[in-house]
Amino acid sequence: MARHLITSAIPYINGIKHLGNLVGSQLPADVYARFQRGRGNEVLFLCATDEHGTPAELAAAKAGKPVAEYCAEMHEVQARIAEGFRLSFDHFGRSSSERNKALTQHFAGRLAETGLIREVSETQMYSAADGRFLPDRYIEGTCPNCGFESARGDQCDNCTKQLDPVDLINPHSTISGSTELEMRQTKHLYLCQSTLKDQIDDWIESKSDWPVLTTSIAKKWLHDGDGLQDRGITRDLDWGVPVKRGTEDWPGMEGKVFYVWFDAPIEYIACAQEWVDAGKGADWERWWRTDKGADEVTYTQFMGKDNVPFHTLTFPATIIGSGEPWKMVDYIKSFNYLNYEGGQFSTSRGRGVFMDQALSILPPDYWRWWLLSHAPESSDAEFTWENFQASVNKDLADVLGNFVSRVTKFCRSKFGETVPEGGSYGPAEEALIADITSRLARYEANMEAMEVRKSAQELRGIWAAGNEYLQSAAPWTAYKEDPDRAAAIIRLSLNLIRLYASLSAPFIPDCSATLQEAFGLESLDWPQDVAASLAALQPGMAFSVPENLFRKITDDERDAWQEKFSGIRS
């Protein structure tokens, strides 16, 4: 049994996320976790809410609530929505947990001991209108590299270039909007990433199987311009992990907190501790400490491309620099962006579909299937209502749903709600078994490689093979002359449904559960041999005809939703 540690990028606490956020990390991570569990492997799938830093403070202020109260409420909201999309986290933690505070302070202490933290006196943006220093994310302006007008003081989300607030053109405070900013003296801690550049470079070079998107971003930060720079890891904020050196106070750092991008990835480890604290598991160290068994774990991270620099550079620098035997990530699966109807999702304009809105319209399987089958892997992808409607209607309703409906209803009408006996498999069945065997091998290979779109294509091909067989074998015609032949066709087709329930579970778990219940199966075993799997349901076994698995989206619904989420106000 292999052991898989899986983490997805932890979402900011500041509001409900859109479909692009979902498909860029959490959803493909869930598919991979479900696939590995289905294969009988041991999985620990972790995620959390990212609750510190500027986004949390700004969102809480806008909501008129204390930041701690706001974060607690939004954690519950995000947890419910994740549940609604059937994200199978073993634990969904919080970066504001006491576990993460202690672990962050521990890492800071270790890095200080190894000489990898230095104190820097620097000038920082101060807003007289706000009466405070402005951390990077409290400042926005135009990116000097690409011209993006909403670049933040730490990074441009459009071109991913690392920035300092002074680099921005026409900077302004995101709190008050004031442009009357001045530079004042303050002191901060810096992580000496540059000291670890060669070690990080060698580590990244050793990952020859990583996606090009992941390594190209990492190498750009390592080698472009002046190369990997030391990074500030403290901020002048009220909300966050207090700056301490282990359990000791850090003189000169009173009133400061650690930068959110320092403490947030550490929550991956803390989340495993929270998992144990919650009574959901035991022995978190066997997942995270290589001296406790984590050297036998395969660790995979899923994230959008904007998160890649911190997971390939800053967090590894923290882990390596600590000098302790922590598990390093083995594979980083990164994604491009999902756009919406020719533009970007926009919370402020109400443009695009957000996760709670999606679930209010249609069940999760509809969204999971479209998003995964159109995952933005090799390039940015675009959501359009026409494409969504076509994919749901053709793939889910016409291919899978129609097959299940035709087979079960025909069986009920001619043989009753039990697997029929009689007849035997012939050349048509042998050809189908051979075809699905080869398709299954490709499906599994793509899933192991985390090629999400290719996996979805192969899964659809397996569904389609059943339809083609059913149409060619025509049990409704065979029944008139040879009921035993019809019985054999239907028996194989019912077993195909059982096979589909197992193979489809990573992508459309609700549908899979419905089929499992219809056949009274206690569990779904991953097929080791297609021929054996297609004989698992024996004659006389009872089943029930499931309700219509997927309904078609009408043109009127499509048009109404397209208008509703356009961001255009009448």
Q: Are 373 and 453 in contact, with CB atoms under 8 Å apart?
A: yes
The answer to whether residues 233 and 116 touch, using CB atoms and an 8 Å cutoff, is no
Domain assignment of residue 444, given as a range: 385-533
Host H or E run for residue 304: strand 297-304
Q: 298 lies in a domain?
A: no
- Report how far Cα 28 is from the mean position of its chain's Cα atoms: 5
**Can you read off the two tokens belonging to residue 144?**
């000097």
pLDDT given for residue 568 in this prediction:
63
Residues that constitute the known binding site for Zn(2+): 143, 146, 156, 159
Q: Which amino acids are annotated as binding site, given as ranges?
A: 143, 146, 156, 159, 347
> Which is it for strands 297-304 and 331-335: parallel, antiparallel or unpaired?
parallel
The span from the CA of 345 to the CA of 355, in Å, is 12
What would the pLDDT profile of 391-430 be if each residue is shown by its tens digit?
Answer: 999 999 999 999 999 999 999 999 999 999 999 999 999 9
Report yes or no: 269 and 285 within 8 Å, Cβ to Cβ.
Answer: no
> Which of 567, 18, 89 has its CA nearest to residue 302?
89
508 within domain boundaries: yes
Considering its fold, how many domains does the chain have in total?
A: 1
In a domain, 6, yes or no: no
Residues in the chain where the model's pLDDT stays below 50 = 569-570
Q: What CA–CA distance (Å, rounded) separates 447 from 36?
A: 9
Q: What is the CATH number of the domain that holds 453?
A: 1.10.730.10
Structural domain includes residue 555: no
**Does the residue 82 lie in any domain?**
no
pLDDT at 347: 73
Mark the binding-site residues for ATP, compressed into ranges: 347
Could you tell me if residue 529 is inside a domain? yes
CA angle 142-143-144, nearest 5°?
110
Looking up tokens 């403490």, which residue turns up? Answer: 263
In angstroms, rounded to a whole number, what is the distance separating the alpha carbons of residues 407 and 64?
56
402 inside domain:
yes
The 3-state DSSP class for residue 508 equals: coil
Q: Is residue 86 within a helix (H) or strand (E), and if so which, with residue range? A: none
CB-based contact 11:50 (threshold 8 Å): yes
- Residue for token digits 């402005």? 134
**DSSP state, residue 328:** P
Between CA 366 and CA 396 the distance in angstroms is 8
- How far apart CA 88 and CA 28 sit, in angstroms, is 11
Indicate the helix (H) or strand (E) that contains 191. Answer: strand 181-191
- pLDDT one-digit tens code per residue, 439-458: 999 999 999 999 999 999 99
Phi-psi region of 43 (alpha: psi -120 to 50; beta: other; left: phi over 0): beta
Output the six-digit token pair for 311. 């997971």
CB-based burial of residue 90 (10 Å sphere; 0-12 exposed, 13-18 middle, 19+ buried)?
middle
The Cα–Cα gap between 325 and 15 comes to 36
The DSSP bridge partners found for residue 120 are: 188
Phi/psi at 369 (5° precision): -65, -50
Single pTM value for the model:
0.92
Kindly provide the b/e burial profile for residues 203-239, where b requires at least 16 CB atoms within 10 angstroms of the residue's own CB: bbeebeebbebbbebbeebbeeeeebbbbbbbbbbeb
pLDDT score recorded for residue 359: 97
Judge contact between 278 and 91, C-beta under 8 A.
yes
Residue 415 burial class via C-beta count within 10 angstroms: exposed 0-12, middle 13-18, buried 19 and up: buried
In whole angstroms, what is the distance from residue 352 CA to residue 566 CA? 6
